[in-house]
């Protein structure tokens, strides 16, 4: 009986691996990942953004993320420090040295930084200048990805392509990746972002997938949309969404998006894949006013995603 059981388990594992590989090969983007890579589990890097802690000082955000069991962090936009005003985590014009110091500060706490916001739309007048400095900051701070996105009212895609063709080589020269996520308008789906990235055709510019934004801004099903851009995806902004009982973004597992189906297409790529929790809050109920309450939600988000990943890759 024991020998038979072992053989059955082995058979099931082999069947699952074969099924995943056939799925990759059968889809339009299957050729982008080699057969060897498709057999290797994706190394999902679970991070919490400091963004959910924006009402509190950055130091408290970092210590809370660490206490919630995360090994990775993504830099948010602003935090309320002792003066009570929102202070940028990393000003657009800050020196590379400042970014290096923040990177070291994170690592001293046992947190590896994975991503930072660009805080500029790609079509903005100063976008090339700001994004170039963001690339320098990211390289100095040891942050592998710089996140950008378009305006909710629409973006000039021609300008995006021209500018990303300039910025892609700069990013690669610094060992940094620019990732573009969905944010409503004509760049509000993964399919739309992937079209731009394929036209740019530079390995320094790829897609970040934000399923919550896809569902929120355009009411598009992210499970079908992700299949149209998955070969270009190199990270996720993790955010769920509900249309009932309220139209509201929320933390993973609190919404209507099936994260097993969402992450299944990228579960076996052989790549490192940051999953950065942007929203960890429960829908409908008020958000915590105490940072300890945010810590609880951060831990819950991590544990939920760990269970999903384990289920997909077992």
Q: Tens of pLDDT along 2-35?
A: 333 344 444 344 444 444 443 433 443 334 455 5
- Is residue 227's pLDDT more than 60? yes
Do residues 138 and 178 make contact, with C-beta atoms less than 8 angstroms apart? no
Q: Which of 173, 281, 251, 182 is CA-nearest to residue 222?
A: 182
Rounded Cα distance between 54 and 9, Å, is: 47
Lowest mean pLDDT among 21-25, 82-86, 176-180, 282-286: 21-25
How confident is the model over 113-136, as a mean pLDDT? Answer: 98
Kindly give the pairing relationship between strand 205-209 and strand 145-149.
unpaired
Q: Is the dihedral of CA 126, 77, 300, 66 positive or negative?
A: positive
> Are residues 258 and 211 in contact, defined by beta-carbon separation less than 8 angstroms?
no
| Minimum mean pLDDT range among 26-35, 128-137, 302-311 | 26-35
CATH 3.20.20.150 fits 40-313, yes or no: yes
pLDDT at 84 over 90: no
Radius of gyration (C-alpha) of the chain in whole angstroms: 20
Dihedral of alpha carbons 86, 92, 96, 100, sign: positive
């Amino acid at each position: 009986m024991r020998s038979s059981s072992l053989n059955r388990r082995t058979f099931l594992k082999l069947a699952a691996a074969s099924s995943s590989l056939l799925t990759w090969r059968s889809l339009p983007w299957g050729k982008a990942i080699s057969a060897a890579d498709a057999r290797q589990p994706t190394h999902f890097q679970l991070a919490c953004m400091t963004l959910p802690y924006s009402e509190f000082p950055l130091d408290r955000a970092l210590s809370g993320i660490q206490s919630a069991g995360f090994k990775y962090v993504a830099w948010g936009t602003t935090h309320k420090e002792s003066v009570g005003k929102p202070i940028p985590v990393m000003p657009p014009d800050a020196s590379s040295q400042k970014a290096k110091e923040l990177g070291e500060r994170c690592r001293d706490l046992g947190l590896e930084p994975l991503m930072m916001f660009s805080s500029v739309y790609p079509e903005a007048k100063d976008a090339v200048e700001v994004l170039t400095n963001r690339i320098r900051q990211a390289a100095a701070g040891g942050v592998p990805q710089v996140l950008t996105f378009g305006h909710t009212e629409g973006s000039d895609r021609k300008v995006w392509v021209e500018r990303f063709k300039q910025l892609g080589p700069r990013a690669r020269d610094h060992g940094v990746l620019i990732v573009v996520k969905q944010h409503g308008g004509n760049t509000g789906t993964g399919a739309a972002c992937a079209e731009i990235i394929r036209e740019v055709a530079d390995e320094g510019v790829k897609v970040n997938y934000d399923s919550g934004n896809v569902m929120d801004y355009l009411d598009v099903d992210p499970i079908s949309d992700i299949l149209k851009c998955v070969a270009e995806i190199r990270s996720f902004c993790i955010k769920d969404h509900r249309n009932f009982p309220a139209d509201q973004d929320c933390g993973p597992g609190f919404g209507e998006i099936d994260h097993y189906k969402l992450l299944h297409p990228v579960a076996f790529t052989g790549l490192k894949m940051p999953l950065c929790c942007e929203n960890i809050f429960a829908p409908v109920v008020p958000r915590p006013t105490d940072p300890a309450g945010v810590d609880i939600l951060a831990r819950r988000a991590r544990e939920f995603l760990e269970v999903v990943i384990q289920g997909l890759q077992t």
